[in-house]
A = this chain, B = another copy of it.
Amino acid sequence: MAWREGYIAVDWGTTNRRAYAVREDGRVLESFRDDLGLLAVPRGGFEAAVAAIRDRLGDRPMLLAGMVGSNLGWREAPYVPCPAGGEELARAILWIEPGRTGIVPGVSQRGEAGAGVMRGEETQILGAVAAGMVPGDGLVCHPGTHSKWILLANGRIQSFRTMMTGELFSLLQKHSILSGQLGGEVEIDGSFRRGLAEGLAGSALLSALFAIRARHLLGEGDGNAAAYTSGLLIGSDVRAGLSLHADGPVALIGRPDLCDFYAAAVVEAGRPATRADGAEAFLAGIGTLTEMLE
């Protein structure tokens, strides 16, 4: 099909999705975001859900990326092993209908660098590189429920590491002995910065977490315990992430609010941080892939 005449790009995650109609010159004609993440799609319901996207955004060829290609999604698009760049991804697109509806694969890592998987971030990262938003060599951080640290070389994903940071915060907030203390809004305040300093210094998480409870019981209020805890976990995350590349800037790609927290941590650790919007990077990534299809 004629990708140059325009297409639809869908970033389809576990709990949300975002779809864009993109015109022949790359401009977004129309887009929407809703909570029809893949867990909300009934079994066998993806064909209908995709038809509904076309009803809304036009009858165009479509590329989908993210968890929609996982074993919990529509169909499993096997991971591309790293090192991986745009060409490897384009070649490995899982075509539901050839040339018309395809799922972008995720990227995997095996061996000495440790096991790793990503789905969705690869499209943003390679898009950000293609669009010149981040350099093709160096360290990238993609914050999220499972934050990623990626080493780029020659514009390709060389290796990466995933941290359970966002999920652990959520577990602590919802189910732990700290639940009652973690209801506050997370902001970059004094509490966040105290937590950040602890995390960046390499404090043992298991001990620093319980101390939050102890201070509370002893009336040694910490200000905003949610912000402190978030700072602690992000500091620990960034300390480990920075160890992947000894110097130079960190290119943050993702949700602007999360990039704020991570940028504060990276700068606190004495490294420069640049930022790229995840949604723009995603569009650039899908655009790059479509160019390889013709």
Contact = CB atoms under 8 A, between A and B. Distances in A.
Interface of A: 71, 79, 108-110, 114-117, 146, 161-165, 167-168, 171-172, 174-177, 204-207, 209-211, 213-215, 217-218, 220, 233, 236-237, 239-240
Contact of A117 (B114, B165, B168, B217): B217
A163 B204 contact: yes
Contacts of A233: 206
B167 A177 contact: yes
A236 B206 CA distance: 8
Contacts of A109: 214
Contacts of A176: 164, 167, 171
B206 A164 contact: yes
A218 B171 contact: no
B115 A218 contact: yes
B240 A115 contact: no
A170 to B, nearest CB: 9
For the complex of A and B, the 6 pairs showing the least CB-CB separation, nearest first, are: A204-B240, A163-B206, A115-B214, A115-B215, A162-B210, A164-B209
B171 A108 contact: no
Given A171-B175, A204-B240, 15 more contacts: A109-B214, A114-B207, A114-B211, A114-B214, A117-B214, A146-B177, A146-B210, A162-B211, A163-B204, A163-B207, A167-B177, A171-B171, A171-B176, A174-B175, A205-B236
B117 A239 contact: no
A171 B115 CA distance: 23
Nearest to A147: B206
A204 B162 contact: no
